[in-house]
Amino acid sequence: MKHLLSGLALTGLLFTLPALATESVTIDGKQYRAVEVNGQIYFTPDNGSKKRVARSLDAPSVQPALRSGDILLQGAASPELTVSGILLVAADDASAKALARRHGLLFKQGSGGIALLEAQPGSDLNAIATRLKQEGIEVQVELAGAEQQPR
């Protein structure tokens, strides 16, 4: 019986994870919205929008916009991370420069098959990353933590 209840709880969690990416949660008395970045769920301060979004269980959830300078948390006790505006892509320099041109990005540098592409201020990094993944490109949004900041 104990295993059955655990199994049901896990099943319920699996069905709610896709919906979690658009829900608002409270951490330490502040409202945050969940956003998926690099396959993980993070929380960013909610802008207070009460806009309701119609959803279907079989439709993919709409991913909130992710912009340079956005602050993310993994949980209540985690350090703040800042979205840098840089996308890391698995591509040689020539391919990365072509990707940058096609997607309106700035090629910053490349080394060892990894290139840094910078998005224009205000660009939705999740949308760009999704388009790159649809092209078969491995991509990650760069997040910078306080421990990585110069002192």
Q: Return the structure tokens found at 8.
A: 């049901």
Domain-wise residue ranges, the chain: 2-148
Q: What's the rounded Cα separation, in Å, for the pair 134 and 145? A: 28
Whether the CA torsion 4, 57, 37, 33 is positive or negative: it is negative
Q: Which of 17-26, 38-47, 56-65 has the highest mean pLDDT?
A: 38-47
pTM of the model: 0.72
Condensed to tens digits (0 to 9), the pLDDT of residues 81-137 reads 999 999 999 999 999 999 999 999 999 999 999 999 999 999 999 999 999 999 999
pLDDT of residue 52: 46
Q: What's the rounded Cα separation, in Å, for the pair 125 and 84? A: 10
